[in-house]
Amino acid sequence: MARILHVTDTHLVVPPALVCGRLDTAACLEACVASIAAALPRIAPVDAILITGDLTDDGTPQSYRLLRETLAPLRLPLLAIPGNHDLREPMRAAFADAGLFPTQGRLNFVRDICGTGGDLRIVGIDTLVEGSGGGVVDAATLDFLDEALATTRPVLLAMHHPPFTSGIVFMDSIGLAGVEGLRDRLERAACQVRILCGHLHVAATGSLGRVPAIVGPSPCSAFDVDFRPDAPVGFFTGGGGFMVHDWSDGFRSLLVPPAIGAGPFPFRD
C-alpha cells in the first residue's frame, strides 16, 4: 500500500494579513493540520502530503516559510506544485532543501513511493502562468511527461488546473490551455494514471480521455456550484477538508471532511 494525503489551495498569508481582507488562511491551515494529526492514527501509514497549488496567496518567501513551519509537526515528506497564486522562484527557493524541483524552468517533479503493498509514482506538473489566473501545459512539460509516464508503476499526476471544465463560469474563464497535448501523452502512456487537482475550491471529479481527474477542496474557502452565466463571482468562507489517495490493487480516493457530527453511534433500533 502506498498512500498520500492531498491538500490544496491553502492560500497562506502571514498574520495579521487576511486574504481579501477577510480570510484568516493561517488559522485555516492550522485547523487543517490539526485535523490531519487527529486522523493520522486512523489512516496510517501515510507516505507523503501533496499540495496541488495555491500554497500561498501572495507568493512571498515569508508565506512559504510559514507553510513549511505549519506542516512540519506532521513529519511527512511534502510534495507540491504551484497554482496561479504562487510565484515560481520563491516557491523553488522555499523547497530547495527538499531536492524536489529542478534548479530552473518549470516546477515539475517525479517521486516514487515504495509501499509494502505496491509502488506508486507521483508526478507533479507546473501549469502556472505568472500574472494569469489560467494555466498551461507547455511543450517543455509535455517533454517531461514523456519520461515521467514511462513507468510500469501506477501514477498520480498532480496539477493545479483541472483538465476539464467545471460549469462554474468564472473558474472556467481561468482554465487550462494545452489540454490536447496532455490528453495525447496520457493516451500513449502504458501506466495507469489518476489526475489530482485543485483550483476549484470544491470537490469534483471529471476526466481527460480515459483518465479520471479528481479535484480536492480548499481548507479555507469554497466556490459555489452555480452554473448560471450570471452567477455571483466570489468565495464563501468555510473549508472542505482533505483527501486520502492510495494504491494497492487499484486506486482509491476518499474525502475527509473538516468536521463531522457526534458519534459513532451503534447501529441498532
Task: List residues binding Fe ion (CB under 5 A).
Answer: 9, 54
SS3 222: strand
Q: Alpha-carbon distance 111 to 114, whole Å? A: 10
Q: In the complex, what is the shortest distance from the CB of residue 221 to Fe ion, in angstroms, rounded to a whole number? A: 8
Residue number with CB closer to Fe ion (9 or 138): 9
DSSP 3-state of 152:
coil
Contact 233, 170 (CB under 8 A): yes
Q: Which is nearer to Fe ion, 95 or 223 (CB)?
A: 223
CB of residue 76 vs Fe ion: minimum separation in angstroms?
22
| Nearer of residues 12 and 155 to Fe ion, judged by Cβ | 12
Least distance to Fe ion, CB of residue 9, Å: 4
By beta-carbon proximity to Fe ion, the closer residue of 47 and 57 is: 57
Nearer CB in complex with Fe ion: 54/126: 54
**Nearest CA among 96, 89, 229, 232 for reference residue 169:** 229
Contact between 24 and 14 under an 8 Å Cβ cutoff? The reply is no
| CA distance linking residue 26 with residue 16, whole number of Å | 9
Entry field: residues in the chain: 269
- Shortest Cβ 8–Fe ion spacing (Å): 8
CB of residue 210 vs Fe ion: minimum separation in angstroms? 27
In the complex with Fe ion, which residue's Cβ is closer, 181 or 206? 206
Q: Where are the beta strands (DSSP E) in the chain?
A: 2-7, 48-52, 78-81, 109-115, 118-125, 135-136, 155-159, 176-177, 193-197, 204-208, 211-215, 221-222, 236-237, 242-247, 251-256
Axis crossing angle, helix 179-188 with helix 139-148, rounded to the nearest 10: 20
Q: Report, in Å, the least distance between residue 201 CB and Fe ion.
A: 6
At its nearest, how many Å lie between Fe ion and the CB of residue 168? Answer: 12
**Distance of alpha carbon 70 from alpha carbon 190, whole angstroms:** 38
Which of 54, 246 has the CB closer to Fe ion?
54
